[in-house]
Amino acid sequence: MTELSGTQVAILAAYAELIEELGSDDVSNRVIARRAGIAERTVFRNYPTRVDLLLATAAWIEATVFAREESHSIFDIPLAIRDAMQRYDARPELAHVVAETAMRGVNGAAPSPGRAQLERLLDAEVPSLDAAQRRAVIAALSHLDSVGTWVTFRREFGMDRRDIADTAAWAAEAVLDSIRDRVAR
Amino acid sequence: MEEPVDTATAILASAAVLLRERTFDDISYRALADEVGISERTIYRQYPTRAHLIAALSNWIEQAFFPLPPFVTVSDFRAAVHERFRAFDASPAYAYVGARASAISPTLDIEPAYITRAIEAMLDVAAPTLNRRDRRRLAASLRYFSSAMFWARLRTGFDMDAGEICDAFDRAVGDVLAKLLDATWAER
Domains of chain A by start residue, with CATH: 6-63 (1.10.10.60), 74-177 (no CATH)
User: What would the pLDDT profile of B134-157 be if each residue is shown by its tens digit?
Assistant: 999 999 999 999 999 999 999 999
Q: Provide the CATH number for the domain around residue B25.
A: 1.10.10.60
Look at B110 and A106 and tell me if their CB atoms are within 8 Å.
no
Residue B170 and residue B77 in one domain: yes
Same domain, B74 and B157: yes
CB spacing of B113 vs A104 below 8 angstroms: no
Rounded CA gap, B157 and A15, in Å?
Answer: 26
**Statement to judge: residues B96 and B22 lie in one domain:** no
* B114 occurs within a structural domain: yes
Domain that holds residue B17: 7-48
Residue A118 identity = L
Residues B105, B23, single domain; the answer is: no
Pick A15 or B113 by higher pLDDT. A15
- Is B59 among the domain residues? no
pLDDT at B2 over 60: no
Q: What is the DSSP letter of B178?
A: T
- In angstroms, the CA B139 to CA B133 distance is 10
Based on the domain organization, do B93 and B42 belong to the same domain?
no
User: How many domains is chain B partitioned into structurally?
Assistant: 2
B78 with B146, same domain: the answer is: yes
Residues B175, B89 within the same domain: yes
Q: Are residues B71 and B35 in the same domain?
A: no
Tell me the average pLDDT across A111-134.
94
Residue B22 shares a structural domain with residue B99: no
**CB neighbours of residue A45 within 10 Å:** 11
pLDDT bracket for residue A108 (50, 70, 90): confident
Q: What DSSP state is assigned to residue B161?
A: -
pLDDT band at B181 (very low <50, low <70, confident <90, very high): confident
pLDDT band at A24 (very low <50, low <70, confident <90, very high): confident
A180 touches chain B (CB under 8 A): no
In a domain, B1, yes or no: no
**Chain A environment of B136 (Cβ under 8 Å):** 157, 159, 163, 167
Q: Which residue in the set B49, B100, B178 is minimally distant from A26, CB to CB? A: B49
B62 part of a folded domain: no
What single-letter amino acid sits at A167? T
- SS3 string of chain A? CCCCCHHHHHHHHHHHHHHHHHCCCCCCHHHHHHHHCCCHHHHHHHCCCHHHHHHHHHHHHHHCCCCCCCCCCHHHHHHHHHHHHHHHHHCHHHHHHHHHHCCCHHHCCCCCCCHHHHHHHHHHHCCCCCHHHHHHHHHHHHHHCCHHHHHHHHHHHCCCHHHHHHHHHHHHHHHHHCCCCCCCC
Please return the burial class of B187, using the count of CB atoms within 10 Å of its CB with bins 0-12, 13-18 and 19+.
exposed
What is the mean pLDDT of the segment spanning B41-64? Answer: 94
C-beta separation of A31 from A40 below 8 A: no
A174 touches chain B (CB under 8 A): yes
User: ipTM of the predicted structure?
Assistant: 0.94
Residue B60 domain-assigned?
no
Give A-chain residues touching B137 at CB under 8 angstroms.
Answer: 166-167, 170-171
* pLDDT value, residue B1: 43
Q: What is the pLDDT of residue A109?
A: 86
Residue B78 lies in a domain: yes
Lowest-pLDDT choice from A2-6, B58-62, B167-171, B182-186: B182-186
Residues of A numbered 24-53 whose beta carbons fall under 8 angstroms of chain B's beta carbons: which are they?
24, 26, 50-51
In a domain, B54, yes or no: no
Same domain for B140 and B178, yes or no, is: yes
Question: Is B170 inside any structural domain?
Answer: yes
**Residue of chain B nearest A98, judged by CA positions:** B103
Same domain? For B136 and B43 the reply is no
B153 shares a domain with B91 = yes
